[in-house]
Amino acid sequence: MTAIVVGGGLAGLVAGYRLAKAGRRVTVMEATTRLGGMIHPVEVGGVRVDAGAEAYAIRGGAARALCEELGLELAAPAGQPHLWWPRGTWPMAEGVLGIPASLDDPALGALDPDELETLTRDGELPASVGADASTVGELVRARLGDGAVRRLVAPVAHGVYALDPDRMPLNAFAPGLLAALAEHGSLLAAVASMRHPGRAAVEQPVGGMYTLIDTLAERIVDLGGEVRTASPIVAVAHAGPDFVVGLPGGEKLRADRLVLATPGAAAVSLLGRLAVDVAAPPIKKARQAVLAVEHPGLADGPVGSGLLVGESDPSIGAKALTHYSLKWPWARRGDQEIFRLSYPENHVPSRTDVMADASRFLGVELRDAQITGFAAVTWDAMPGRLDAPVREFVLDTVAKAGIDVVGAWLDGNGITAVVAGCDRVTG
């Protein structure tokens, strides 16, 4: 039993590992010179840190279970995230998706008096208000007002999930919330019932998410498989019940199982050569900058673990900042602090831009002599979300063709979603 996995990102390596554990002789083929896809380290200030995905959601359990299976040490993030507005910075609501669990939450300071008054009426509304909502935005707007959507929930939705709250189905992003609303009578009380104080929503392997990539590749090889980089697939075809893939130079590989774990456009192209016609979702760019700094005023974390920008400001280019070495203390070295800043796809940040934005967010003036490392990374193919009927059509079509397809373009952005999607290859 043999399997060829095309793509050496997270999906390809998880699929390859699962198949190798099931007894198949696996070959993972990655077109570029490195593994990991959007899980990618850069070195700044002598420290390797994540420049792509840095953590996974605990909810769902798939990513945590995989890391535990591999024996990786796990860590929850430290510090409190914040929301930045031109008029001030407030802690992010300690609730669910930016929805507060209490009227005492400091995050409510971001609301103006009228917006706050609307929100406080949540406890006076009958439980039926919002009970028929289908999205996060619809529910919050019905019970807490549009101000709560714009100032508390939207920055989290945009910054964490790259989605509008009105595009976030409740059953996917907040399962159980409507049932809790029916039971407790108000949205704040419902959120409070679902919260687990002291329990983080995300975590990562100590040393960075890329340790998961390194470990998966090692385990595939330990199980008798092969992981090859700089190996683009230039041809794919049926050969009786098997599949044959071709590489530059004429090399061909044959296997009875084919897994496509590439970005959407590449997967669709390869499927087309096998007479399978599907469409990939639209893509967009994502830009990150990583800054290592030595400054005496940063050790205590002036914005906690980081911040999301709640309202655009012409003088600010970044849309989020993570105090990486505070959030993940293993990355701290002496007095050096590490920050990650996220930028819109149309903004290519220079070192000067990043220093200026970080200075504004942190409330300190960073000088060039204090910068001990800098890196900028662009991700060219961040997939959009497939509507559920389209996704089901793709899965049904490739299954009928006897081909496995996995990856973020099909299963959703987020490490947990990608890992869970790989269960299909052994299901």
Stretch 372-391: mean pLDDT, rounded? 89
Query: 178 with 169: CB under 8 angstroms?
Result: no
Q: How much is the pLDDT for 198?
A: 65
Q: How much is the pLDDT for 32?
A: 96
Number of neighbours of residue 37 by Cβ within 10 angstroms: 26
d(CA 365, CA 357): 10
Query: 318 with 361: CB under 8 angstroms?
Result: yes
Q: Which of 257, 262, 226 is nearest to 6 (CA)?
A: 262
Structure tokens at 105: 């939450």
Q: How much is the pLDDT for 283?
A: 86
| Bridge partners, 236 (sequence order) | 245
Structure tokens at 116: 């706050």
Q: Which of 274, 328, 275, 323 is nearest to 300 (CA)?
A: 323
Structure tokens at 253: 């590989």
Residue 48 buriedness (CB in 10 A; 0-12 / 13-18 / 19+): middle
pLDDT band at 419 (very low <50, low <70, confident <90, very high): very high
The four Cα atoms 177, 160, 34, 214 give a dihedral, to 10 degrees, of -50
Per-residue pLDDT tens for 77-136?
Answer: 999 999 998 888 999 998 899 999 999 999 999 999 999 999 999 999 999 999 999 999
Structure tokens at 141: 């707007």
Q: Which of 141, 160, 35 is nearest to 92 (CA)?
A: 160
Enter the pTM of the model: 0.88
Q: How much is the pLDDT for 41?
A: 94
| Bridge partners, 253 (sequence order) | 245
Per-residue pLDDT tens for 10-68?
Answer: 999 999 999 999 999 999 999 999 999 999 999 999 999 999 999 998 888 999 999 99
Q: Which domains does the chain have, with CATH numbers?
A: 2-37+208-280+384-425 (3.50.50.60), 95-194 (1.10.3110.10)
Per-residue pLDDT tens for 296-343?
Answer: 889 889 999 999 998 888 899 999 999 999 999 999 999 999 999 999
pLDDT at 427 over 80: no
Structure tokens at 228: 């090859």
pLDDT band at 386 (very low <50, low <70, confident <90, very high): confident
The whole-angstrom distance between residue 131's C-alpha and the CA centroid of its chain comes to: 29
pLDDT at 196 over 80: no
Per-residue pLDDT tens for 138-173?
Answer: 999 999 999 999 999 999 998 877 789 999 999 888
Q: How much is the pLDDT for 197?
A: 67
Per-residue pLDDT tens for 265-286?
Answer: 999 999 999 999 998 888 888 8
Q: Which of 85, 83, 122 is nearest to 103 (CA)?
A: 122
